[in-house]
Structure 1
Amino acid sequence: MPAEPDGPPPAATLPEATPPGATRYARVVVDSRLPQLDRLFEYRVPPGMTGVEPGVRVRVPLRGDRLTSGWVVETTDARAWEGEVADVEKVVSPVPVLQPEVWALARAIADRAAGGAADVLRVAIPGRQARIEKQWLAQERAELPPLPEAVEAAAVLPGLVEARRRVAIECAGGVAEITDAEGAPVWVGRWAISLASIARQAIERGEQAIIVVPDHRDQRQLRIALAAAIGDERVVELDARQKNPERYRGFLRCIDGEPIAIIGPRSAVYAPAPKLGLLAIWEDGDPLLSEPLAPWVHARDAALVRQGQSGCALVLAGHARSSDAERLVELGFLEHERLGAHRVRVLPSALTDDGRRVPAVAFRAAKEALATKPVLVQVARPGHAPGLRCGDCGARARCTSCAGPLGRSSRGAVPSCRLCGRLAAAWRCQSCRGTSLTEVGRGSSRIAEELGRAFPGVPVMVADGEHERLTIDAKPRMVVATRGAEPLADGGYGAVLLLDGDALLSREGLRVAEEAVRQWATARALAADGATVVLTGAGGATVTAITGDTTVPFAKAELAERRSLRFPPAVRTASVVGHPDAVAEAVEALAEIEHLDVLGPVPAPADVVKGSREGELERAIARFAYADGARVAGVARGRVLAAASRPRKPGAPPRLRIRLDDPEPFDGL
């Protein structure tokens, strides 16, 4: 049987050479989701087996004859287990995919989040592609071409990487034209040019740069800007949207340690980079950067841990300052910087008295801009009618399968569920048995129809989840886009209309106002210099934040309010979900930590844990200081292990789940 060495997991460093002929042992982290197996297991390397080196993938026995995959963390000739030790079954690949810095990061992240290191490694290391591995092992490493001639933008925050500065950057909006790798002119956001300039500082020092972005739209702009700043050969993308061989080829190139820029979504923060000079996160307040899989670690938190281990320069940048970044600025951990200037006129406006969708000031701004440039109209919801009600009794029309809300994607389309997608062709009201439906609200396609009638002869296009458009040319037209789906226009938009402010702010959640400001600032950044931005249906501090030159005062106010209420990010939290007895035991153990307070327990919603039923589980929220994070994580991990050791029926939800920094309980605040 495999054995667990005594003491904490060893450091992820290469061992000293083993004397020839001596028995070698490998310490392996197995690829398992079970919390009981989050440890290093010791195996003997059979005589004659080669290739068992730190970082390689192996197959090892676990629980008798059952084989499982794992990664070798270290090899040694000294045994740490006195009992029987099983042999390594097979070397899956000779490529050291688990680099020392990635193992150290995975272990630290797992310990901070009370999770398992294998869960982190599953996100960090892509699946094996044997053909790509053979090519990588056989190829000769060609020397990279010299860097392109430095451009004017290279003066952005000079010396940042060399001084290993940690900064929070508020980037002004606007777009700029540059030349891509093929010599063609192309437009990108000025923010991308700034980050590419900072990345060049690391490349010039022979180091690597990692830049994490929320989605493929930002990644495309950054790729173009980096190609212009450092050359296309020095840019590596790691993205789940890539084909598996392409992604694995990029991952293996990161292992080589060349001076390259690595870009991608949240998982790119774990990319191997032995000489990391810069780690940057773009729009760190974007919820897309929160990992949806265990241990649910936000890319920003992973970046903070990695910066502490590597000592690299750290950049948290965005068009709007997040409250999390502002907390780090106020603590003195990050410096504040603001880059660029974007001259636009922002006009807040309430809806007109006659109930028209777009106020008169927005119509005037759009009409003036359409003479020379396109106009962006940002709306809250996709489709034609986001909601439907019974035409007889007024009850909300819901899906008969999952009880989700019904809507229409286009005029005259068959109603469908917005959650499960099931069609409701023969819908009947559950209250009055009526069959007529009344449309509620206006989605992107319905607003596009209305604007088409209001601006006859002007082309109108829709950009949302079903109609993806990354870029458009500079021809005058109306572009109706949902939040996050706005295409980039050559030269920028002549006017930006931010509709549905009231709908955006009427949602429930701790970060609703902060998220609204971020999304409005992102849309405002697409406007051309001198353009008009009209914001409708909003007021108060959010309007002040978007109409001013900076969003920092808004972030400060948000953080101050959170401190008074003891809400994140002023404090850290842990959601404790499980059977009532397991929750009670966990709460009792956590309550021994000084200054920790507990909210609840209360009945947990059925959808919090997969497979649970309404009223079956309870949930409590523990709030604690950042300084107590390690102690809370240790206690939480111990209670999860104790609960996991108890038997449960197949398919039943786990007896206890503890998630640190869980945003879900605060979505309804």
Structure 2
Amino acid sequence: MAETAVPGARVKVRFAGQEVQGYVVERGTETDHTGSLQPLRRVVSAEPVLAPEIAELSATLATRYAGARSDILRLAVPPRHATAEKATSTPAPAPPSVTPGAWDEVEHAGAFLRRLASGENPRAVWSAAPADDWPRMVAEAVATTYAAGRGALVCVPDGRDVDRVDAALTEVLGDGHHVCLTADGGPAKRYRDFLAVSRGARRVVVGTRSAAFAPVHDLGLVVLWDDGDDLHAEPRAPYPHTREVLLARAEQQATAALLGGVARTPEAQQLLASGWAHELAVPRDVLRARVRAEVVPAEDRQVGTRIPRTAYDAIRRGLETGPVLVQTPRAGYAASLACDTCRAPARCTVCTGPLAQPGPAVPPQCRWCGHAERAWACGSCGGRGLRAPVRGEARTAEELGRMFPGTTVRSSSGDRVLARVGAAADVVVATVGAEPVAAEGYAAVVLLDTYLTLARDDLRASEEALRRWLNAGALVRRGGHVVAVGDPAHPALQALVRWDPAGFARREVEERSQAHLPPAARMATVTGELGALDDVLHLLDLPEGAEVLGPVPLEDEHRVVLRVPRTSGADLSAALGDLQRVRSARKLDPVRIQVDPLTI
């Protein structure tokens, strides 16, 4: 096996009485192991799929998130596909010469691109403006790095964003220069594209969170778009966030970094405050010419409708020149029902579950047992009328169809998500995250029921709400109009009116710093049975200044929150890692540990 057991190869080894898969990390003539060594059982494949830099990254992330290195490697290396492995990878053509033009109005962007072209490693946090063609701008930054002889890695939240960046890279670079690492093409295509990157045949990669581990040769730039999107948070242990993976790679491999988005997270603002990165944004006068935003109270709605007069006028004027986007937080028709007389929630007569109405000609149905209530009567007052306190996109589309007769109303939500719409003067009703891109931008964007978006019981409720509104508002064309229906005094809606994600992020950082919350502090949660948590608190050697909050009930389990100053974050991760090893050796009841969870 001397010829095939190369560093990075998959092998089978005997461990704890079982034959398990592993990787050759390196080969040496000496060992620090004091016991006896066992021979390899066999080499699964001589293909070096684990690059040295990814092996180092896996160790760093396992320590950072108090997890097992094997869990990180499972995320980093896709399953083997023997047929794809036998095929050769065709080298990419020579990089084309590209002259960036989409960044012209962004302050300091010229210096950032010049440093990329000269092989330096600038780091920036970029606030995209309304009407920006951000996929084109990302593609130009990648092309500048690629022309300098270095690779680039782009991570975006979902497949629709991958398609947009893919199209922009094809337009800027041409065919055969990049690959898209997603699961949509199936295991064979994913592994074939992974091998093209691992073998150095492709040095430009775009994909979702798993692409953050792509072994790009001569990596020179990592790009992360919309780091506030919860799709960047890995749902499998040890739950690494794409932002932290790419920042760790930028540090270890000395690469340039670009964190972009319409909104700005407190974590990105912390990078600016610490001097780790510099800001890229358009001047205020350019921003004011791009978009006009305002907030109107919900109480100003017209009689018999849920849309205020200002929002109605914005839709009517927008339809004179192009499509209009209406964002609503709920899908379906009537997500909840209440008595029209006493406003008591409508309940199922069989199981007392909440009632909802799937469509205009469908009787109310229970969301728990599915029972259809054809002759419902209120248990409090006996009334038989129903009202919908919360209306979904289907009901909203129906109302807008009546308000603007002769206008095409299109819906985008759930399983019917539209990727793009044309320039026709249509009304597009979309749920959050399902907003299609208009060919020439929307003439107006209306944000309904903003109180529902703010109603999340979470630390990041306001931050997430503003991110959703800004992402929808940024789809307007130059000179577009954005109208939000909600409380004009709310800080998040005030930030929308000013279009000031940076100021809102600074305020969030200051408030969280005073409350000892992330990113000013480091936190971890430990979830499990109450007895297991008692063992954890007994065995855990916490760093100085640590706070223990809880345990508190959480559904069928209990949870403890651990909080330390930011400077003690590494000590907390190390203590939790030691705890996991002790618990594993003693075979204690399992607990779930999350370091820096996205939500608390």
- TM-score normalized by the length of structure 1: 0.81
Report if the CA contact (8 A) 1:206-1:259 is conserved.
no
Name the structure 2 match of 1:551.
501
Residue among 268, 293, 298 paired with 1:325: 268
Offset, 1:626: 2.6
Report if the CA contact (8 A) 1:113-1:633 is conserved.
yes
Residue among 140, 143, 165 paired with 1:200: 143
Name the structure 1 match of 2:291.
344
Partner deviation per Cα, 1:2-42 (whole Å, 9 max, x = no partner) = xxxxxxxxxxxxxxxxxxxxxxxxxxxxxxxxxxxxxxxxx
Name the structure 1 match of 2:547.
597
> Which stretch of structure 1 is more off in the superposition, 245-254 or 441-450?
245-254
Distance in 2 between the 1:53 and 1:404 partners? 60
Q: Using CA pairs below 8 Å that are at least 6 residues apart, which structure has the higher relative contact order? A: 2
Q: For residue 555 of structure 1, give the secondary structure of its aligned residue in structure 2.
A: helix
Report if the CA contact (8 A) 1:101-1:273 is conserved.
no
Distance in 2 between the 1:325 and 1:392 partners? 49
Offset, 1:591: 6.4
Q: For residue 334 of structure 2, give the secondary structure of its aligned residue in structure 1.
A: coil
Distance in 2 between the 1:405 and 1:639 partners? 43
In the alignment, residue 640 of structure 1 is paired with which amino acid?
A: Q
> Which stretch of structure 1 is more off in the superposition, 250-259 or 638-647?
638-647
Name the structure 2 match of 1:386.
335
In the alignment, residue 422 of structure 2 is paired with which amino acid?
A: D
- Indicate whether 1:661 and 2:596 are aligned: yes
Name the structure 2 match of 1:19.
none
Name the structure 1 match of 2:469.
520
Name the structure 2 match of 1:578.
528
331 and 60 in structure 1: CA distance in 2 versus 1, 3 angstrom threshold:
same
Partner deviation per Cα, 1:346-401 (whole Å, 9 max, x = no partner) = 12111225463111111111111112201100001000011245789944547989
Name the structure 2 match of 1:159.
114
Report if the CA contact (8 A) 1:595-1:624 is conserved.
yes
- Indicate whether 1:62 and 2:12 are aligned: no
Residue among 143, 160, 167 paired with 1:217: 160
Partner deviation per Cα, 1:426-481 (whole Å, 9 max, x = no partner) = 79999969998945321000000010011000000100112111001101111000
Report if the CA contact (8 A) 2:98-2:144 is conserved.
no
375 and 631 in structure 1: CA distance in 2 versus 1, 3 angstrom threshold:
same
- TM-score normalized by the length of structure 2: 0.90
> Which stretch of structure 1 is more off in the superposition, 453-462 or 423-432?
423-432
Distance in 2 between the 1:428 and 1:123 partners? 52
The count of residues paired between Structure 1 and Structure 2 equals: 582
Percent of pairs with identical residues = 34
Q: For residue 5 of structure 2, give the secondary structure of its aligned residue in structure 1.
A: coil
Offset, 1:256: 2.3
Gaps of 5+ in 2: none
Partner deviation per Cα, 1:314-344 (whole Å, 9 max, x = no partner) = 1111111111111111111111111474512
> Which stretch of structure 1 is more off in the superposition, 265-274 or 374-383?
265-274
Name the structure 1 match of 2:415.
466
Partner deviation per Cα, 1:74-132 (whole Å, 9 max, x = no partner) = 22333444544333222222211111111111110010110011111111111111111
Gaps of 5+ in 1: 1-47, 176-189, 607-613, 649-653
147 and 438 in structure 1: CA distance in 2 versus 1, 3 angstrom threshold:
same
Residue among 425, 446, 449 paired with 1:497: 446
Q: For residue 80 of structure 2, give the secondary structure of its aligned residue in structure 1.
A: coil
Q: For residue 327 of structure 1, give the secondary structure of its aligned residue in structure 2.
A: helix
**How well do the aligned residues superpose, as a CA RMSD in angstroms?**
2.8
Residue among 456, 459, 463 paired with 1:507: 456
392 and 478 in structure 1: CA distance in 2 versus 1, 3 angstrom threshold:
closer
397 and 304 in structure 1: CA distance in 2 versus 1, 3 angstrom threshold:
farther
Q: For residue 383 of structure 1, give the secondary structure of its aligned residue in structure 2.
A: coil
Distance in 2 between the 1:398 and 1:62 partners? 55
- Indicate whether 1:568 and 2:506 are aligned: no
405 and 631 in structure 1: CA distance in 2 versus 1, 3 angstrom threshold:
farther
In the alignment, residue 168 of structure 1 is paired with which amino acid?
A: V
Report if the CA contact (8 A) 2:224-2:259 is conserved.
yes
Residue among 433, 440, 457 paired with 2:406: 457
482 and 257 in structure 1: CA distance in 2 versus 1, 3 angstrom threshold:
same
Name the structure 1 match of 2:70.
118
Q: For residue 119 of structure 1, give the secondary structure of its aligned residue in structure 2.
A: helix
In the alignment, residue 61 of structure 1 is paired with which amino acid?
A: R
In the alignment, residue 550 of structure 2 is paired with which amino acid?
A: G
* Match runs of 1:627-646 below 5 Å: 627-646=567-586
456 and 643 in structure 1: CA distance in 2 versus 1, 3 angstrom threshold:
same
Report if the CA contact (8 A) 1:169-1:339 is conserved.
no
